[in-house]
Amino acid sequence: MDAAGAAAAPASVETISMQAALNRALAEILTEDEKAVVLGEDVGRLGGVFRITDGLQKRFGADRVFDTPLAESGILGMSVGLAMAGFHPIPEVQFDGFAYPAVNQIITQLARMNYRSRGTMPMPVTLRVPSFGGIRAPEHHGESLEALFAHVPGLQVVSPSSPHEAYHLLKYSAARPDPVIFMEPKSRYWQKGAVDFDDSGSPLGSKVVRPGKHLTLVAWGAMVARCLQVAELAAEDGIDIEVLDLRWLKPIDAEGLAASVSRTRRAVVVHEAPLTAGLGAEVAALITQHCFDTLRAPVERVTGFDVPYPSGDLEDEYIPNIDRILFGIQRVLEYRRG
């Protein structure tokens, strides 16, 4: 069909970057919820180091979008206090590695206050964390902390993979009565994709972003796009790969995970964090628990290495690349028992 005869895209669908999708979501949250506030280093006048909050202070005022001192423990401590006072804070930690100084506040206060108060002090806090690598940044500007946060009772953890998911998952997270760690793949901020603003699909659980029949690739964040690239290459050799975007890293959608792997009977988990005690181990355990009778091979993990997340000049060696993922797929497909 030529361009003149092509069906017009729905008015609710736009092709925008993840940065723009997140910015629009924040603007709508601030418009719809008078108790919502955005805070963090440089999020106000500058609009954030990645410009996610660009223009929000001018539009909503400095009492609702405001800069904080360069103290992550203070940002999270302030957010806990604001939540106790009835506000809905959306703090930003400028880079994922900068979250380390705030781990005390995140674990001992943010995650526990609702439990400690027997439900009288909910913590509707959505902590935005530009996460993972891929931008060739210095030390502590690229990390993969999902296993750290997912291990903590009281926290929910989510990571979008596309502009569409970023928009809908952020709006859903900000409406939650519980603290959510919102891990944004910073390497994907400027990648464009279609966003259906009227999409009525559930923001909960995992999502099959490419159906297949020979093997399931499980990923989240920036690694979803890489796994889609791998699936296209594998298809040239007649290998039909299913790609599952986990989306929620806590709680993990065990039912959706099992449904996908039960169809393909093989699985490879891909993430940027180190292998040992990474979230892929939990995913592999769930697959084994729910799909033991149908699995044709052990679950393979393709991950970062057991070293500190490197600076930019070594990132390409550290982050799972297409070849490493293809080798992981090959090992699973060629596995033979005994």
Q: What pLDDT is recorded for position 138?
A: 79
Q: What pLDDT is recorded for position 7?
A: 52
Q: What pLDDT is recorded for position 141?
A: 86
Q: What is the mean pLDDT of the chain?
A: 94
Residue 10: pLDDT band (50, 70, 90) is low
pLDDT at 284 over 70: yes
pLDDT tens, residue by residue, 44-69: 999 999 999 999 999 999 999 999 99
For tokens 């902390």, the residue is 145
Residue 5: pLDDT band (50, 70, 90) is very low
CATH number of the 16-196 domain: 3.40.50.970
pLDDT at 4 over 60: no
Q: What pLDDT is recorded for position 2?
A: 45
Q: What pLDDT is recorded for position 8?
A: 53
pLDDT tens, residue by residue, 15-38: 999 999 999 999 999 999 999 999
pLDDT at 9 over 60: no
Mean pLDDT, residues 285-304 taken together = 97
CB atoms within 10 A of CB 124: 23
CA atoms of 129 and 22, how far apart (whole Å): 12
Residue 3: pLDDT band (50, 70, 90) is very low
pLDDT at 129 over 90: yes
Q: Which residue has the higher pLDDT, 8 or 176?
A: 176
Mean pLDDT, residues 105-128 taken together = 95
Residue intervals of the chain classified under CATH 3.40.50.920 are 207-333
pLDDT tens, residue by residue, 155-193: 999 999 999 999 999 999 999 999 999 999 999 999 999
Percentage of the chain exceeding pLDDT 70? 97
Q: What pLDDT is recorded for position 101?
A: 95
Q: Which residues does 246 contact at the CB level (< 8 Å), separation at least 6?
A: 159, 206, 218, 219, 220, 252, 253, 257, 283
207-333 CATH choice from 3.30.70.260, 2.40.110.10, 3.40.50.920, 3.30.360.10: 3.40.50.920
Mean pLDDT, residues 230-247 taken together = 97
Q: Which residues does 120 contact at the CB level (< 8 Å), separation at least 6?
A: none
Catalytic annotation, residues: 141
Q: Which residue has the higher pLDDT, 311 or 121?
A: 121
Residue intervals of the chain classified under CATH 3.40.50.970 are 16-196
